[in-house]
């Protein structure tokens, strides 16, 4: 029982950390705020966001395999598959901003160039799509926890 509580707590901390860093990216990725410090910060935030996503996946897998309910219960739940699909979708959507932030940082370090307004807007749109999927995952979790 203690293991279940620890795994659940670690999973929750990972979820909340993911929310914090995705929200920070969304807040900072604005053309009117773009400067060298923001480019560096976005690259750092995105790295932490990626690490947190891996930790979230690891804690989720730990709950799947070592939790009280077990693998067979989870895979028999339709909402589990919806949650996993949305999580994978978020991961796929995060690839473009990650590559873009790295490219911006490389350009900044090599030439001092900042990204253009249109590119910042486009990248922000990708981040915002992810940030709008995340609450849907949370709502699904609430319904799933209530036996829906």
> Distance (Å, rounded) from C-alpha 98 to C-alpha 138?
23
> What pTM value is reported for the model?
0.91
Q: List, for residues 93-128, the tens digit of each pLDDT value.
A: 999 999 999 999 999 999 999 999 999 999 999 999
Q: List, for residues 23-53, the tens digit of each pLDDT value.
A: 999 999 999 999 999 999 999 999 999 999 9
The residue among 14, 127, 145, 15 whose CA lies nearest residue 80 is 145
């Amino acid at each position: 029982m203690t293991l279940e509580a620890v795994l659940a707590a670690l999973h929750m901390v990972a979820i909340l950390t993911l929310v914090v860093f995705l929200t920070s990216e969304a807040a900072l990725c604005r053309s009117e705020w773009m400067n060298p410090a923001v480019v560096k910060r976005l690259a750092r935030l995105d790295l932490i966001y990626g690490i947190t996503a891996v930790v979230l996946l690891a804690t989720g897998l730990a709950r799947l395999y070592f939790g009280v309910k077990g693998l067979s219960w989870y895979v028999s739940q339709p909402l589990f598959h919806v949650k996993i699909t949305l999580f994978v979708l978020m991961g796929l959507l995060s690839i473009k901003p990650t590559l873009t932030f790295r490219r911006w940082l490389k350009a900044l370090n090599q030439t001092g160039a900042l990204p253009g307004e249109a590119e910042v807007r486009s990248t922000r749109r990708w981040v915002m799509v992810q940030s709008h999927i995340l609450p849907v995952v949370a709502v699904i979790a609430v319904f799933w926890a209530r036996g829906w």
